[in-house]
Structure 1
Amino acid sequence: MILTVEHITRYRYDSPVRGLVQSHRLTPATTEGQRVLDWQVVVSDGLQGGTFRDGAGDVIESWSVLGPVDEVEIRVTGRVETNDQAGVLRGHRETIAPFCYLRDTALTHPGGAIPTLARSALGREPLAAAHHLASLVGEMIVWTTGATQSQTTAAEALERGQGVCQDHTHALVTLAREIGMPGRYVSGYLMAEGLQEAAHAWAELYVNGLGWVGFDAANRCCPDDRYIRLGSGLDAQDAAPIRGSARGGGGEVLDVTVAVQQAQQ
């Protein structure tokens, strides 16, 4: 399948900022499941810095904008050819050992009911345990926009029983790490009807004998050819497509639109 992407992020400031610097994880890496046909990242008034591939195999670009500016737009457009790998990440070049993804963060601390829930997967084969935990998260957290915030932890989302893909993903990687299975947060795109207000997220769990396997607990499936993988990290902050800081200015308003469609072939 060939997917087209248009992803626009706008930052508006109450008063002009003197400048900003950003790190972008906005360019898909080529794997056996996806091949970039064409891709472009444009930052209004932006100066592109260095580009490199980090230890996790993700493409990182640095950008800066010299002020004063009161609005910055980041426009991502491109086409990616995808094919269904049954959720298994194949052909992805990375050097970080899987056990590094056993580390907790503030958002993925195993509090509340997580230890008890995780124990329900013990005694199962690794792949069966991963599927069990993904199904458990999908059942316990009902997709509800506005019920959580960016700082909501995995334990809090499970307790509330509501959340979005970020919460499903945090919960799943936290449960997996609790039983000694490396888990990481993945940011990317999912083909859907109409405009979306954010990129998508899912988990990858390291299954002995298979390697990294993706699980989208929010949609109760493994990533297939509707998905484009951008990058990964320990949690949503670590895997964010855009990270950075601005100098000066007042309040900030963020507006995001994402459109992912199947191209006419």
Structure 2
Amino acid sequence: MRLSIRHTTRYEFSQPLAHGLQRLRLRPKTTHGQDVIEWETDLDGAVRELEYDDQHHNHVELISVEAGVKALSITSTGIVDTSDNAGIIGQHAGHMPLWCFLRQTKLTRPGPRMRAMVQGLGTDRSNSLDLLHELSRLIAEQVAYEKGMTDVGTLAETALEKGHGVCQDHSHIFIGAGRLLDIPMRYIGGYLKMEGQAEQEAGHGWAEAHVEGLGWVGFDVSNQISPDDRYVRVATGCDYSEAAPVTGIAFGEHDSALEVRLTVEQELKGQQQQQQQQTNGR
């Protein structure tokens, strides 16, 4: 499937900004199941300082906000070809050893509720894949998908106690519980093409578990499926904080308002041919 993506993050400040720095993880990479055809990030109110690949092999751009601005816009646009590999990414690669993905973080650290949930899983734990699917089902049953009940700093244990959350919370609970089972787990931030809806409020998050014989396998707890050709992987991390699309700091006496606009839609064959003809005619 060929997916067209446009993602805009806009900040408006009540007073001119004295100084600001932002770290962007917005550029997906070609990997198993996806081929990045084109990608571009445009800045209005900031300049790009440098680019590098972090410890998780995510592409990172560091930008500085221009002094005196009252608005900052970051717009990424691109085209990605995807395929359905039943969620299987394959064997581990990159700078981080597998044992790092067994380490709990502040956001994933289990408490009594998570430990009890893991203890309640079936006694046959010889099949990791079946066990993980059962864990995913239990989390979806115990934590209803509901916006506005949690935020980016909500702990997995807290979301489980509340019984409400979003994809980030589902993923953190799944990751923390999987690590209790001695299964390497990681967080994935990216995009999902929703059926009949091009415009979305935000990106999507899910998890991957390292299963013996298969390598990394994706689990979208919120939708109870393994990622297919509607998904685009952008960044990975031990939790959301290491895969967040935009993070940063700003200096100056001000209040800020944030607006996110995101469209993810499939390009039809006719659109692809027209674009190719336009490219060839240049």
The Cα RMSD (Å) is: 1.5
Determine the structure 2 residue equivalent to 1:102.
102
The structure 1 segments of at least 4 consecutive aligned residues displaced by more than 3 Å after TM superposition are 90-93
Contact 1:184–1:233 (Cα < 8 Å) also in 2: yes
Correspondence for 1:262 among 266, 269, 275: 266
User: TM-score, normalised on structure 2?
Assistant: 0.90
Contact 1:166 1:201 (8 Å CA) reproduced:
yes
Query: Which segment drifts farther, 33-42 or 51-60?
Result: 51-60
- Give yes or no for contact 1:31–1:91 (8 Å, CA) kept in 2: no
> What CA deviation, in whole Å up to 9, does each residue of 1:147-191 have, x standing for no partner?
222222111111221111111111110110111111111100000
Q: Which residue does 1:176 correspond to in 2? A: 178
3-state SS, counterpart of residue 148 of structure 1: coil
Q: Which moved more, 1:219-228 or 1:111-120?
A: 111-120
Q: Write the mapping of 1:62-141 to structure 2, written as runs, cut at 5 A.
A: 62-90=62-90, 93-119=93-119, 120=121, 123-124=124-125, 125-141=127-143
Counterpart residue type for residue 178 of structure 1: L
Q: 1:92 to 1:105 in 2, by over 3 A?
A: closer
- Cα distance per residue 1:88-129 (max 9 Å; x no partner): 114885121121011222211101311121121553211111
State the SS of the aligned residue for 2:206.
strand
Q: Which runs of 5+ in 1 are unaligned?
A: none
**Percentage of pairs with the same residue:** 38
- Distance in 2 (alpha carbons) for counterparts of 1:23 and 1:122: 44
Letter in 2 for 1:134: S
Aligned equivalent of 1:241, options 218, 222, 245: 245
- Larger relative helix fraction: 2
Name the amino acid aligned to 2:146: T
Structure 1 equivalent of residue 144 of structure 2: 142
1:199 is matched with 203
SS of aligned partner of 2:135 = helix
- Residue 187 of structure 1 is matched in structure 2 by 189
Structure 1 residues 43 and 231: alpha-carbon distance in aligned structure 2, compared to 1, 3 A threshold: same
Give the structure with the larger strand fraction: 1
1:45 counterpart letter in structure 2: G
CA distance in 1 between counterparts of 2:180 and 2:123 reads 10
* Offset of residue 206 of structure 1: 1.1
Higher mean displacement: 57-66 or 6-15: 57-66
CA distance in structure 2 between the partners assigned to 1:4 and 1:184 by the alignment: 26
Using structure 1 for the length normalisation, give the TM-score: 0.95
**2:229 matches 1:225:** yes
Name which one, 1 or 2, has greater alpha-carbon Rg. Answer: 2
Equivalent residue number for residue 22 of structure 2? 22
**1:156 paired to 2:121:** no
